Chain A
Amino acid sequence: AQRVTQPEKLLSVFKGAPVELKCNYSYSGSPELFWYVQYSRQRLQLLLRHISRESIKGFTADLNKGETSFHLKKPFAQEEDSAMYYCALRGPTDSWGKLQFGAGTQVVVTP
């Protein structure tokens, strides 16, 4: 069964410190992987997708097919990075509007 696992419910880091959010998935195939973010009192929004291989707001994520992981990283956390982060996948045979989300990781960046 396909599954997205985010092992950390809460991640507390100091401003300027590196931050890494873990995401592991189980899927027999080649899914698309995404990171969505929800800032306080805002809507859930796309942060980045693995196919783009781009850096958004200083965040990058590398898809490791061998380890079936898609960890999100930022070298220097900022206070505005405090938010809820969700890892999500879409299977190649899934409808394009179907995402499977992990339980989320709450990131708190303290000054």
Chain B
Amino acid sequence: DAGVTQSPTHLIKTRGQHVTLRCSPISGHKSVSWYQQVLGQGPQFIFQYYEKEERGRGNFPDRFSARQFPNYSSELNVNALLLGDSALYLCASSATSGTRPRYEQYFGPGTRLTVT
């Protein structure tokens, strides 16, 4: 298994544009979480999705949205990009054991977004 995969690796956008980031979880993992990591800081939680439903939301504006597909992959969308959205966006997946979640999150390599 390649682990959690994210695409694209890097991208550059202009202020005001829209961006879509993609994440594929580890096979069998049904939960996906998104984090934003600004340079010099730790990851900050944006969303968690499980079984295609939003299960948690961090303190981010409505310009940020996400969804999860039937195959458990996920997309993070950011509208009206601001310079401050420049960051590394991390995706993490976690397994579930029956209806009980497992605690460990497996992180992807991230997507580096630069807004100019």
- Size band of the interface chain B makes with A: 20 to 34
Residues of A within 8 A of B48 (CB): 95-98
Query: Interface majority SS on B: helix, strand, loop or mixed?
Result: strand
Q: Considering the chains assembled together, what is the distance between the CA atoms of A69 and B92 in angstroms? A: 26
Q: Is the CB of A44 within 8 A of B103?
A: no
Q: Considering the chains assembled together, what is the distance between the CA atoms of A44 and B101 in angstroms? A: 20
Q: Is the CB of A102 within 8 A of B42?
A: yes
Nearest CB of A to B51, in Å = 12
Q: Is the CB of A98 within 8 A of B40?
A: no
Residue of B with least CB distance to A49: B103
A43 interfacial contact with B, CB 8 Å = yes
Within B72-116, the residues touching A (CB, 8 Å) are 90, 92, 94, 101, 103-109
Q: Is the CB of A103 within 8 A of B42?
A: yes
A residues with CB within 8 A of B: 4, 6, 32, 34, 43-46, 49, 86, 88, 90, 94-104
